[in-house]
C-alpha cells in the first residue's frame, strides 16, 4: 500500500504542518516539508521536535525516512503535486487575518499545470477565490487550488488528525480535489466535499460556534454566582440534552489559544467587510475578555488590596498538554495582577520556555509546590493533571493565606475545603 500513496509537500512546519506531515507519512506518503525558519528546519533535520505535542515525536521518528525537511521549495515542487499550506495566519492590528505568509507562498509558486495548493491554514472566506485570481493574472491558471481546513486540537493533535470527526474538501471538481479525496481515503470519517468558499466558512463558523458555547456558559456561570446555582451541575444537566452536548460547556477563565481568538475576530471582520454586522460575535469576544479579568475581582473580594500580596499561578499554557502560550488567559491575568501590585509566581510543567518569551518579568517556580510556598492565594489557570493531584494538606501547610481559586472548575472542592482552605470556583 505504501508504494501507492502520493508524495506531498507541506509548507509551514508548525503545529498543523508538522502533524499533517507526520500523519500522511504514517499512512505511507513521502512528505517534503518546507519552512522559512532555518533554525526550525535544522532542528527537524537533526530529529528534534520544536513543539510539544503528545505522540508527535514518536510519529516523526517512526516515519523519519519518509520525511524530508528543507528551507527550499524546489524539491517539494519536483516530487509532489499537492502542496499543503500550513503557514500562520495571525491577526493583524485591525483583527483581520494576516495573510502575508499565505501570499508569500502564493508568490513563490511557479507556472505549472501539475500542482495544487491545498490550504490547511485557516483563512477568511474568499481567500481561495483571491488566490485563483492572482494565479490567473500571472498566467498560472494551471495551478489548482483546494481548501482543506484542519480541525485538530493542540494537546491531542496527532489523535485528532488520525481520527478526524470529518474531512472537509472544497474544490473546483478538478484533479486536485480528487487527489486530496484519495489521500484521505484511509480515514474513517464522513467527508464533506463542497465548493471552496463553503469549506473556508465551515472552519470559521465551527470555531466561532465553539467560542460562542464557551462564552455562553461563562455568562451562565456569572449568573449562577448571583443566584446561588452551581454551573457545574447546570452544564451537566444541559449537556445531557443530545441537541446541546456536553463539550465546550465548562465555565472558566475564558478561551485562549491561537485559533479561537483570531478566528472569531476574523469572522466578525469578514462579515463587517462584506457589509454585515455580526452582533453575536461582538458579545462572545467581550464576554471572553471580561472573563479573564473577573478572577481579579474575586481575589480583591477576599484579600482587599492586592498590592504586596503573593499570588501563585498553577499553569500558564492556554490549555493542558500543550506548550502554546498564544492567547493564553494567563497573559492577561498575570499582567492585571502585576498592575495591581501583586507578586506573581507561576509554574507550568511544559510551557515555561514559551511563557518566558512573553512574560520575562514573571517569577517562575520550578514546581507546583514552589508556587504554593508563601502564597496568599492560588489560582488554577491550566488544568494540568499534576495540579489535580496536589496534596491539599501540604498545600495548606505551605501557603501564607488560604484562598484557592479554581479557574477551570477542575479541582475537587471538598478535598480543598477539607484541608482548611477556602475554595472558590467559577460560577459555583
Ligand atoms: N494550532 C492549531 O491548533 C490549529 C488548528 C487548526 C488550524 N490551524 C491553522 O493552521 C495554520 C497554522 O497554524 P499553526 O498553529 O501550525 O502555526 P505555527 O505558527 O505553529 O506554524 C506556522 C509555520 O509556518 C512557517 N512559515 C511562515 N511563513 C512561511 C512561508 N512563507 N513559507 C514556509 N513556511 C512559512 C513558520 O515559520 C511556522 O513554522 C493557521 O492558519 C491556523 O489558524 C491551527
pLDDT digits over 404-424, tens only? 999 999 999 999 999 999 999
pLDDT value at 161 more than 90 = yes
Active-site annotation holds for 125 = no
Atom 7 (ligand 1) nearest CA: 150
318-348 pLDDT, tens digit per residue, is: 999 999 999 999 999 999 999 999 999 999 9
What number does the ligand 1 atom closest to the CA of 13 have?
39
What number does the ligand 1 atom closest to the CA of 87 have?
24
Residue 91 to residues 81, 86, 125, 258, Cα–Cα distance (Å)? 30, 15, 15, 9
Write down the catalytic residue from 33, 148, 224, 259.
259
Q: Kindly report the pTM of this predicted structure.
A: 0.95
Choice from 15, 72, 267 to test ligand 1 binding pocket (greatest atom count within 8 A of CB): 15
Summarize the chain as % helix, strand, coil (round to 5): 45, 15, 40
pLDDT value at 195 more than 50 = yes
- 311 closest CA partner among 355, 353, 257, 347: 347
* CA–centroid distance, residue 328 to ligand 1 (Å): 17
Q: What is the DSSP string of 228-287?
A: T--HHHHHHHHHTSTTT-STT---SS---SHHHHHHHHHHHHHHHHTT---HHHHHHHHH
- 217 closest CA partner among 7, 32, 426: 426
What number does the ligand 1 atom closest to the CA of 262 have?
43
Q: Residues enclosing ligand 1, CB less than 6 A? A: 11-17, 34-37, 40, 86-89, 101, 104-105, 120-122, 150, 152, 154, 258-259
Average pLDDT, the chain: 96
pLDDT value at 172 more than 60 = yes
Q: What average pLDDT does this structure show over 237-245?
A: 98
Beta partners for residue 343, in sequence order: 310
Q: Which helix (H) or strand (E) holds 218?
A: helix 196-227
Between CA 32 and CA 44 the distance in angstroms is: 12
What number does the ligand 1 atom closest to the CA of 108 have?
31
Q: What pLDDT band is residue 373 in, cutting at 50, 70 and 90?
A: very high
- 278 closest CA partner among 190, 377, 209, 372: 209
Number of H helices, E strands in the chain: 18, 14
Atom 19 (ligand 1) nearest CA: 88
Could you give the residue ranges of the DSSP H alpha helices within 113-184? Answer: 127-137, 157-162, 175-183
Say what the pLDDT of residue 317 is: 97
> How many percent of the chain have pLDDT more than 90?
98
Amino acid at each position: 500500500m505504501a508504494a501507492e500513496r502520493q508524495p506531498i509537500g507541506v509548507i509551514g512546519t508548525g503545529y498543523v504542518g508538522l502533524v499533517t506531515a507526520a500523519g500522511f507519512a504514517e499512512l505511507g506518503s513521502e512528505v517534503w516539508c518546507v519552512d522559512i525558519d532555518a533554525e526550525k528546519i535544522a532542528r527537524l533535520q537533526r530529529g528534534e521536535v520544536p513543539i510539544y505535542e503528545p505522540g508527535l515525536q514518536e510519529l516523526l521518528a517512526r516515519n523519519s525516512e519518509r520525511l524530508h525537511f528543507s528551507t527550499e521549495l524546489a524539491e517539494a515542487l519536483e516530487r509532489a503535486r499537492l502542496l499543503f499550506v500550513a503557514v500562520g495566519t495571525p491577526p493583524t492590528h485591525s483583527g483581520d487575518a494576516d495573510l502575508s505568509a499565505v501570499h508569500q507562498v502564493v508568490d513563490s509558486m511557479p507556472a505549472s499545470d501539475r500542482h495544487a495548493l491545498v490550504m490547511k491554514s485557516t483563512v477568511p472566506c474568499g481567500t481561495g477565490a483571491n488566490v485563483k485570481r492572482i494565479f490567473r493574472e500571472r498566467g498560472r491558471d494551471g495551478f489548482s487550488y483546494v481548501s482543506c481546513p484542519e480541525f485538530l486540537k493542540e494537546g491531542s493533535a496527532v489523535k485528532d488528525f488520525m481520527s478526524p470527526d470529518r474531512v472537509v474538501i472544497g474544490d473546483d471538481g478538478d484533479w486536485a480535489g480528487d487527489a486530496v479525496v484519495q489521500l484521505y481515503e484511509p480515514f474513517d470519517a464522513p467527508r464533506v466535499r463542497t465548493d471552496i468558499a463553503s469549506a473556508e466558512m465551515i472552519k470559521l463558523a465551527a470555531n466561532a460556534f465553539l467560542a460562542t458555547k464557551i462564552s455562553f456558559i461563562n455568562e451562565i456561570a456569572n449568573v449562577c454566582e448571583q443566584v446561588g446555582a452551581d454551573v457545574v451541575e447546570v452544564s451537566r444537566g444541559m449537556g445531557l440534552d443530545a441537541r446541546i452536548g456536553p463539550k465546550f460547556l465548562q465555565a472558566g477563565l475564558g478561551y485562549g489559544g491561537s485559533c479561537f481568538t483570531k478566528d472569531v475576530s476574523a469572522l466578525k471582520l469578514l462579515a463587517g467587510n462584506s457589509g454585515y454586522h455580526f452582533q453575536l460575535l461582538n458579545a462572545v469576544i467581550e464576554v471572553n475578555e471580561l472573563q479573564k479579568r473577573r478572577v481579579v475581582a474575586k481575589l480583591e473580594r477576599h484579600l482587599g488590596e492586592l498590592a504586596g500580596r503573593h499570588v501563585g499561578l498553577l499553569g500558564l499554557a492556554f490549555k493542558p498538554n500543550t506548550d502554546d502560550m498564544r492567547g493564553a488567559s494567563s497573559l492577561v491575568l498575570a499582567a492585571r495582577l502585576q498592575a495591581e501590585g501583586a507578586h506573581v509566581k507561576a509554574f507550568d510543567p511544559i510551557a515555561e520556555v514559551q511563557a518566558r518569551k512573553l512574560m520575562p518579568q514573571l517569577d517562575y517556580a520550578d514546581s507546583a509546590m514552589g508556587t504554593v510556598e508563601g502564597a496568599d492565594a492560588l489560582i488554577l489557570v491550566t488544568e494540568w493533571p499534576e495540579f489535580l493531584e496536589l496534596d491539599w494538606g501540604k498545600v495548606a501547610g505551605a501557603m501564607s493565606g488560604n484562598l484557592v481559586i479554581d479557574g477551570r472548575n477542575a479541582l475537587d472542592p471538598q478535598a480543598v475545603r477539607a484541608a482548611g482552605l477556602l475554595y472558590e470556583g467559577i460560577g459555583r
